[in-house]
Amino acid sequence: MAINKNYRDYEFSSPLNVWNANDTSYSKMKFIEFNVEAGQTVYVPPFWHYSLKMVGSDDDHVCHVFDYSSPMNILANAFSITNHLFEKYGPKAGPKEEGKITTI
């Protein structure tokens, strides 16, 4: 699967549109689609790719992201963390564009 790696903001995404599965890239992927009702919680395991589709008015949505950094997690992601710090604070790091929203 293709992955867009944005080390400056430490965001990783896919260019594939999972809501329009006409591409042959989806042949080996498995999808789980479900609705989350009020009072329910969804747990996404570490390193799983996910996509959220919000239905209804904007006032009805709440999304919390919790993450952690254990010593083994930091060691496993040392390459990506180093690239992130270099891109963000390195000698060629330019000013960040304020107010820019990245959409997939």
| Contact yes or no for 16/1 (Cβ under 8 A) | yes
In whole angstroms, what is the distance from residue 88 CA to residue 27 CA?
A: 36
In whole angstroms, what is the distance from residue 76 CA to residue 104 CA?
A: 26
Task: Report DSSP state, residue 102.
Answer: -
What pLDDT, in 10s, does the model give residues 49-75? 788 888 877 777 777 777 778 899 889
Residues 6+ apart with CB under 8 A from 94: none
What pLDDT, in 10s, does the model give residues 1-34? 678 888 888 888 877 777 776 666 677 778 888 8
